[in-house]
Amino acid sequence: MKVHLTLLAASLLLVACGTPLSAPDSGLQPPPAWQKLDTPGARADNQQWWTHFGSPQLNRLIEQARLDSHDLAAAMARVRQAEASAVIAGAPLLPAVTAGLNGNRQQLLRGKGYSQLDVDRNNRTIDYYDANLSATYELDFWGGKRAARDSALKTLSASQFDRATVELTLLSGVANNYTQALSLREQQRIAEQNLGNAQRVLDLVQTRYDAGSATALELSQQKSLVAAQQRRLPQVQQQAREALITLATLLGQPVQSVTLDDDSFDRLHWPAIDAGVPSQLLSRRPDIAAAEARLAAAQADITVARAAMLPSVTLGLSLATGADIADQLLRNNVYNLGAGLAAPIFNNGRLKAERDRTIARQEELLDLYRAAIINGFADVEKALNGINGLDRQRQWQSEELHQAQTAFDIAQRRYQAGAEDLLTVLETQRTLFAAQDMNVQLRLARVQASVALYKALGGGWQVM
């Protein structure tokens, strides 16, 4: 028996040795540098990137989202499912051991008419006890079992990377919706201010009209402008409410539970961000890492499918004992050691088709991996291009807003003095209102461009 057990142990040791799963190669060469990269004083630390915008309220909302988001909780549950699946997939690498203990009592209730079943005091009851211990193991000659485990582990890694992607998307969504809510609050303040300015001009036109120095056309034109500003207010309020509802959804709360402090939109600022080099992106973005892990899992699945087409060897060992008296149970021992060979003969092409399917799946995931890398490069390039373009626009927009305010003030004074017609005042009003609105929109776009760059760079996430 010792010889048989030694052979069994040697077989287990032989099949336990295997080649580790190699990392897949995308075949893509990252560019040496980004097209747009001019960030003096840039920060290379992207950990907790949301704290760089200078808003304590945003920091609190981010932490609340990480705790209460249902999407993130669901992603974490999927990780736990993948962990359990990995344990299941790795179980066949070791023998399956089972044990059993049975006790039986048999009693003859009737025996008349057949002498061998006649009941007497000696054969009224029959007791029997038995115990057994068995182990079975399928030798992994072709590496299929190891590959199945490796595939499950890579799928687990992909699930963990997916969770990180969900978190990154969630946090960037919170930041974008929070800044949008603040910008709409600022637009509402500007709309109320512009309505007041338009109303004051209307009062002036009304006074001149009553005095006979303004026409009915001029009065109607200014009333139309006042009505347009009154219409603008509920529009902005509606948009602000929708932004708050979306923010509450990301936080996993009903909108009635979410309130924003009187945080000023002008207090938000954006940091200079160090984008690094393109080659670093492959280890920064969780979606790229997830695509790579799924590709590696698919490569392992091909090995599993090929191994299923080859013969399999199963070893079995069992120990058993039995007695009709419980205290003599261990005195009658029997062991059995066996081996079995099974090979697929005819399955109507099922195994070959499964192999072909896994190969095609691997080819699909290779292209998806390459697409994830290219899309990652594009996301960073677009974010950098957006930041560059918005910074250039804001340089001139500040001058545009200043000159629009100056022109409106001059036109209003000249009209009041009778040296300018109302048409000029109307044009300067519209120009000022548009410049004020554009100022808020450009500022919001600039903040969200920084959020987009942080997200494109992986938000501080790193492959460990």
pLDDT single digits (tens) 352-384:
999 999 999 999 999 999 999 999 999 999 999
User: Quick one: 266 and 407 in the same domain?
Assistant: yes
CA–CA distance, 166 with 69 (Å, rounded to integer): 10
Kindly report the CATH number assigned to the domain that includes residue 336.
Answer: 2.20.200.10
User: Quick one: 390 and 408 in the same domain?
Assistant: yes
Kindly report the CATH number assigned to the domain that includes residue 237.
Answer: 1.20.1600.10
Residues 6+ apart with CB under 8 A from 194: 229, 232, 429, 432, 433, 436
What is the extent of the structural domain holding 332?
A: 95-138+311-343
For residues 274 and 460, the answer to whether their CB atoms sit within 8 Å is no
User: Quick one: 366 and 425 in the same domain?
Assistant: yes
21 in any annotated domain: no
User: Quick one: 165 and 235 in the same domain?
Assistant: yes
The residue out of 296, 328, 343 marking a domain boundary is 343
Distance of CA 267 to the CA centre of its chain: 30
User: Quick one: 334 and 400 in the same domain?
Assistant: no
User: Quick one: 78 and 170 in the same domain?
Assistant: yes
What's the pTM value of the predicted model, to 2 decimals? 0.84
CA–CA distance, 131 with 95 (Å, rounded to integer): 19
User: Quick one: 329 and 450 in the same domain?
Assistant: no
339 in any annotated domain: yes
The residue out of 291, 319, 343 marking a domain boundary is 343
Q: What is the pLDDT of residue 370?
A: 96
User: Quick one: 236 and 336 in the same domain?
Assistant: no
CA–CA distance, 13 with 367 (Å, rounded to integer): 38
- What DSSP letter does each residue of 307-330 carry, written as one string? HTTS-EEEEEEEEEEEESSGGGGG
Number of structural domains (the chain) is: 2
Alpha helices in 252-349 (DSSP H): 286-307
Of the chain, the end-to-end C-alpha distance in Å amounts to 48
In the beta sheet, which residues pair with residue 337? 317
Burial 346-367 (b: 16+ CB within 10 A, else e): eeeeebeebbeebbebbeebbe
CA–CA distance, 352 with 284 (Å, rounded to integer): 38
190 in any annotated domain: yes
Query: Mind listing the pLDDT tens digit for each residue in 82-98?
Result: 999 999 999 999 999 99
68 in any annotated domain: yes
Residue 430 has what DSSP assignment?
H
Q: How do the pLDDT tens digits run along the chain, 464 residues long?
A: 444 444 444 444 444 444 556 677 877 888 888 886 656 555 556 678 999 998 999 999 999 999 999 999 999 999 999 999 999 999 999 999 999 988 887 766 655 555 555 555 555 677 777 888 999 999 998 999 999 999 999 999 999 999 999 999 999 999 999 999 999 999 999 999 889 988 988 998 899 899 888 889 989 988 998 999 899 999 999 999 999 999 999 999 999 988 888 888 888 888 888 888 888 888 889 999 999 999 999 999 999 999 999 999 999 999 888 776 666 666 777 888 999 999 999 999 999 999 999 999 999 999 999 999 999 999 999 999 999 999 999 889 889 999 999 998 999 889 888 888 888 888 898 899 889 999 999 999 999 999 999 999 998 776 65
Rounded to 5 degrees, φ, ψ at 276 are 65, -150
